[in-house]
């Protein structure tokens, strides 16, 4: 009888090791190929200058970024994090020269929770001219292009499609 001479504990041990390695490889593949999702920890709202004074009731610190050339057609946007900190915000100028070209205008570091950024820009009826890209403290990268909404005119966002940084992917694999 061959079954009497087999040590089943060694077979079970090897099967569990193989399952553990396969599970770890599966987690790495799942996190690595995760495209993106939607998250609502950053908000952008269109505001009017009359609302500027009331912002001190909601935010501890207010920063401003000016991207206007014509003061008559200036739009104002409120950009702020909700329950997260923003590590870096990049402002990109957009132009079209046989393809869309991004030129870095400015960078704002560390926009903490309960602080906001007022963005002054004009929304052209043609090709957009301003894009904002940010990275949260959770490792999410988001971007928004300031443009007119031809559907319902609403330029506010309460959620955005994000991508994960390499650091965040590694943290997800390790369960941190």
pLDDT digits (tens, 9 = 90+) for 9-25: 888 888 999 999 988 88
Q: What is the pTM of this model?
A: 0.70
pLDDT at 1 exceeding the cut of 60: no
- Over residues 72-129, the pLDDT tens digits come to 678 888 888 888 888 999 988 888 888 878 888 888 888 888 888 888 888 777 777 8
In CATH, what class is 37-174?
mainly beta
- Mean pLDDT, to the nearest integer, of 29-53? 77
d(CA 164, CA 43): 18
d(CA 57, CA 82): 15
Which pLDDT does position 35 carry in this prediction? 59
More confident: 162 or 80: 80
Which pLDDT does position 18 carry in this prediction? 92
**Where in the chain are the domains?**
3-32, 37-174
């Amino acid at each position: 009888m061959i079954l009497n001479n087999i040590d089943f504990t060694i077979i079970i041990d090897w099967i569990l090791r193989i399952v553990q390695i396969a599970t770890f490889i599966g987690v790495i593949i799942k996190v690595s190929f995760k495209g993106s999702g939607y998250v609502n920890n950053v908000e952008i709202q269109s505001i009017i200058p009359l609302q500027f004074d009331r912002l001190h009731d909601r935010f501890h610190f207010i920063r401003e970024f000016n991207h206007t050339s014509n003061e008559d057609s200036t739009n104002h946007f409120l950009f702020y994090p909700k329950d997260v900190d923003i590590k870096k915000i990049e402002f990109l100028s957009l132009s079209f020269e046989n393809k869309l070209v991004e030129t870095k205008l400015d960078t704002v570091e560390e926009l903490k929770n309960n602080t906001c950024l007022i963005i002054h820009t004009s929304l052209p009826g043609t090709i957009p001219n301003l894009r904002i890209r940010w990275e949260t403290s959770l490792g999410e990268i988001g971007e928004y292009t300031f443009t007119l909404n031809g559907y319902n005119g609403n330029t506010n966002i309460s959620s955005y499609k994000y991508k994960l940084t390499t650091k965040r992917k590694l943290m997800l694999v390790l369960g941190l």
